[in-house]
Structure 1
């Protein structure tokens, strides 16, 4: 089988104007960015009162063996088209950090990819650059205000706004600046987060339009005075200029799958340190244009799906009509104790043992009032006996399971999944509900997620954190949902605890208020908001060949 980029290179793409026409986008609403990608001006769409069915694709906890959640999302969307349904795919844009780190790109794989794969995984339409610029403009204006007299009386020790960069760079996690003497400003401790963890990214993905975007940015708390009263972005008068930088980035991006079906790629918050969903604007636009909208939430269901239900659906008023939970034989074998080097060997017992991870996720999704359909993402080394065990275990947990071969066969390999999921989406999810009510206290929300979803026996919230949460409640932010920042590899905060650990402790290291985005971030264990590169980063194997073509992207 050729590599993802070789498959992508062999693809026959159609002009983005034709993709738009097939999706029902009029010429006046299309803003082309070259031949194969474009932005959509929602104000010029003619959508009427149509409301499609929303299908969420989530997964078990990720492992180095790979689960293929994005690949399955693409395959399912293509398969819905194959069975005669009008569908639209809504994904996030990939970050450069993982692309050059260890995870690779985020455009799907095999015969289920979004195109043009290389451009999507690199600079795409410049949205992430715009978000980075808007975020760092605010950083510059904060330090500039302090330099020119600090009339807002910002306490330099309590500036909470950091800088961002869309790259994995551990050296920038904690820094001291400005240095260099009187002409450069007042030294203080600060640091960098990765762009996809930026509150600006979250705001772009949760805003409903430009006016809402600017209001949310104005609501950002950048720090506090000595009397601990908050200082807002609007106080330093940065919100309007930031909006100008984001006026194009807020428009959804239109691309196509390998089978020339339409896909929106817009926004890209990580699900382990941010809320992990594509933009409300793209999803709501797609629901007006298609009968079925397939979207994904990042990493495992304990992170992405929980945040989709508790943050995105709560903020936008969405209800998922169906949920797909992706699992693989290889990943379940790892959860059953098999080392990565031995995953090619058949091991039915390990699949059965590792299925406790699948069971846990099924149970968790059901807590939101939705029963997921299990998509078994097929690898060519999977044996019939191993696949049968997953189907047997899933059905014993009360969920349908379908073997999917979209990676190798495209839409034909996910046709059965599409038929089952479309029928479930048509029936809807009348029992859907968030995990906790908005009026619950912030500390109780953290405890609820940790005990109900992560199955922790104890939640360690330091007195200083409880005091901070209480202060935010008194400031009027108690109704906010909580965005947990936690390792994606385990239900616990220890990435080596695979399977379905329970009885562990979830330690809350710190909390951050994202007043503009509309949630509180709870940072658990050792999770970092600026990732680092591995010992051998993917960047070492990405290059241009003699014909000027990119090699090594995946």
Structure 2
């Protein structure tokens, strides 16, 4: 029987021994810690061992502002890696690890799909090597030590204010009922009652910290700097994980999680899968250490940045590249016909529901009507001095005239464009895209950060808002202004910015399509992720704990008579 679903395609694939995949990257077997069949951890000693080898061309994959369904950045990243190998170039890919929340919720798996997926698919989507659980454990161990300090306030000299604790707990599920809770109910020995809540593990500062750490020592230092709350009194001071003597244990719990995971694609391209920070409130990129290894493992390193170029790519350039010191050579901007039609404002796409028939009908005029978003996201790549390549992620119900419209839009913007059918055809379907990316990466560029860390926090925020999002300016709430003043006083003004806003619009309003003009960015709150190393303003209403839909993916996953998983993705 012909394999039709992604799970069937994954099971029909022929995997190489993971040691052979490592050999393709020049990784000695002494650097591998096997985790069952087809998966291995890579020792961080690989960073130094590979450092003298040639540096690969560094390519980041981003996208237009997506529909709620996503536009296929992960499959494009995987397909491009396979396409580069198909065209005679050695490639390595790096992607984030899927979260169980979205996997068991409405999105499904995060391992790619069709003939452009990372394997073994079930392992990757369900636990993998336990990194997510290690982050959960480290985060919640800190939370337990915070509440223990509050409970034992009479014997502690921290004077931690229970009303000023900012550290919540995390869990790697979608569970809206845990967003806001009261802790410490019961008897006197059950703790001090206070209001708190849960976030999803991917939203944890520990996850962002893990992704941005360069070494075990760096991780230990960053964890110690995590701010969990403030002391009492008229001039409160920050209380850190180091103050609570929690950072050491957290580091031990994360020791193995800091090692990148090595897997392979459907066509045996090496795949580094590591870390999974949220894309709308955190960096939305895989780990620095994975890239420091992968950059010396082939001719190209292709990595993915979450959501649109205004989100993941902006953080990739201004946060991740600052830490890694790596310089991108090209960027891929994924678009789809359906995304540009949605940005015309004439169609509505709802996650979990079939696409409307009128959106699927041939209509290149709708593509042109939604082109402003594509043009602005091209500009957002070029703002950083990087050459973009537009990748049309083709679907079976697209029309040739609509692809021609996107090519025309890209041509008028002065950038390369390629149609890719990697989902159905694997690397062969991405050959045109691979050639276009190789040409772009061979050209000189003028990469630079959008802002200097020496300017104040207000200026950094306003630079991102006006130059990347297209806002006329920024409006700060009284609480946001107070926080920025406090963070500057604490000496955190030199940290870069990680803006938290909706991924469904260039603006802070998820209902605004295209490239909105005549609006101002409202910053209602500003938080500090001092351990991860950034300040994050919150624009609009952000959910850090998703909820399950009316028909979650988890309701369809089971095992068959042979003990095999069914219903996954």
What TM bracket, shorter-length normalisation?
Answer: over 0.9
Alpha-carbon distance, 1:201 to partner = 0.4
Preserved CA contact (<8 Å) 2:44 2:215? no
What is the TM-score normalised by the length of structure 1? Answer: 0.97
Cα deviation 1:305-363 (Å, max 9, x = unaligned)? 01111111112222111000001112211222224312321111111111111111011
Alpha-carbon distance, 1:378 to partner = 0.9
Alpha-carbon distance, 1:185 to partner = 1.5
Are 1:176 and 2:182 an aligned pair? Answer: yes
Alpha-carbon distance, 1:125 to partner = 0.5
Alpha-carbon distance, 1:535 to partner = 2.4
Are 1:446 and 2:477 an aligned pair? Answer: no
Preserved CA contact (<8 Å) 1:65 1:331? no
Which of 400, 414, 419 matches 2:435?
419
Pairs within 5 Å for 1:30-429: 30-43=32-45, 46-50=49-53, 51-149=55-153, 150-226=156-232, 227-336=235-344, 337-339=346-348, 340-342=355-357, 343-429=359-445
Preserved CA contact (<8 Å) 2:370 2:514? yes
Preserved CA contact (<8 Å) 1:95 1:268? yes
Preserved CA contact (<8 Å) 1:443 1:466? no
Cα deviation 1:357-415 (Å, max 9, x = unaligned)? 11110111111112310011111121111110000011111211111111111111111
Question: What is the DSSP-based 3-state SS (H/G/I as helix, E as strand, rest coil) of the residue aligned with 1:236?
Answer: coil
Shifted more, 464-473 versus 293-302: the winner is 464-473
Q: 2:553, 2:340 → 1: CA distance?
A: 25
Q: 2:207, 2:466 → 1: CA distance?
A: 28
Question: What is the DSSP-based 3-state SS (H/G/I as helix, E as strand, rest coil) of the residue aligned with 2:442?
Answer: helix
Shifted more, 35-44 versus 208-217: the winner is 35-44
The equivalent of 1:462 in structure 2 is: 477
Shifted more, 19-28 versus 336-345: the winner is 336-345
Q: 1:387, 1:47 → 2: CA distance?
A: 41
Pairs within 5 Å for 1:488-507: 488-507=503-522
Shifted more, 257-266 versus 80-89: the winner is 80-89
What is the TM-score normalised by the length of structure 2? Answer: 0.95
Shifted more, 505-514 versus 229-238: the winner is 505-514
Q: Which runs of 5+ in 2 are unaligned?
A: 349-354
Q: 1:183, 1:48 → 2: CA distance?
A: 54
Shifted more, 337-346 versus 461-470: the winner is 337-346
Q: 1:489, 1:64 → 2: CA distance?
A: 7
Alpha-carbon distance, 1:65 to partner = 5.0
Preserved CA contact (<8 Å) 1:16 1:255? yes
The equivalent of 2:352 in structure 1 is: none
Preserved CA contact (<8 Å) 1:274 1:483? yes
Q: 1:287, 1:155 → 2: CA distance?
A: 45
Q: 1:116, 1:325 → 2: CA distance?
A: 27
Which of 556, 562, 568 matches 1:541?
556
The equivalent of 2:351 in structure 1 is: none
Alpha-carbon distance, 1:428 to partner = 4.1
Preserved CA contact (<8 Å) 2:170 2:199? yes
Preserved CA contact (<8 Å) 1:38 1:253? yes
Q: Which runs of 5+ in 1 are unaligned?
A: none
Q: 2:193, 2:520 → 1: CA distance?
A: 37
Shifted more, 301-310 versus 98-107: the winner is 98-107
Alpha-carbon distance, 1:546 to partner = 2.7
Alpha-carbon distance, 1:552 to partner = 2.2
Alpha-carbon distance, 1:44 to partner = 5.1
Q: 1:508, 1:533 → 2: CA distance?
A: 28
Q: 1:204, 1:65 → 2: CA distance?
A: 28
Preserved CA contact (<8 Å) 1:280 1:316? yes
Name the Cα RMSD after superposition. Answer: 1.4
Report how many residues are paired: 553
Preserved CA contact (<8 Å) 1:454 1:502? no
